[in-house]
Amino acid sequence: MSQIYRASEARGDADFGWLKSKHTFSFGSYFDPNHIGFGALRVINEDRVAPTAGFPTHPHENMEIISYVVSGGLEHKDSLGTGSVIRPGELQRMSAGTGVRHSEYNASSTDPVHFLQIWIVPEEDGLAPSYEQKAFPTEERKDALRLIGSRDGRNGSVTINQDVDLYGSLLTADRSLAFDVRSSRKVWVQIVRGKLNVNGQQLTAGDGLGVLEQGALSLSAQEDSEFLLFDLAA
């Protein structure tokens, strides 16, 4: 069994001028009891932030916060003393744990930044706050499922405090990949750009597909595509 969250139908919408955001799951003023989350995956917000604008310093706790930049640069500063700019091909993980404050701003004075902010509920509350950022070159993600986040940090992925494997892919037009959904697991596929066919389901940028049953997934690109795949505990 699978369920599609169409970008044109199921996402929440927020427009603050400097920020245009699409919410795959309930967030802020957008609430849909049928779209609360998917297992431990709680938030996927697709944000576009105007030049020099951003989110002033604000608090988080007991959440794994992942930033994935599609284009532009996102400047991050936090109460751990961390400061960095996240670029396309990089993944940042901030474990809020017992509490952390951070800000996120567009690093450019001329160009917008387009990124996904992802929240994953951690396995336990009260963890020590921590931060990690790694780059995953294009050649490692091209026509492959590159592990970019995992509970154990294997294969050079960032460590996420939850039973989840996060894969990133840049799939060339007319190429295909396969993924096996194991017993007691479920999978979420989020399309970043392009057009993807997943087991006969046509998906375009912003669409999400939740897969709830064991079996093989076939992922085929109708055009050059970018997507994330979350392998989660059922």
The SS3 of residue 113 is strand
Assess whether pLDDT exceeds 80 at residue 56.
yes
- Per-residue pLDDT at 231: 98
The torsion of the CA quartet 220, 112, 25, 65, rounded to 10 degrees, works out to 100
The SS3 of residue 141 is helix
* DSSP string across 94-110: EE-TT-EEEEEEES-SS
What is the fold, at CATH topology level, of the domain defined by 138-233? Jelly Rolls (2.60.120)
Convert the pLDDT of each residue in 160-191 to its tens digit: 999 999 999 999 999 999 999 999 999 999 99
pTM above 0.85, yes or no: yes
In the chain, which residues fall in CATH 2.60.120.10?
12-135, 138-233
Which amino acid is residue 197, in one-letter code? N
- Per-residue pLDDT at 1: 59
What is the fold, at CATH topology level, of the domain defined by 12-135? Jelly Rolls (2.60.120)
- Per-residue pLDDT at 3: 73
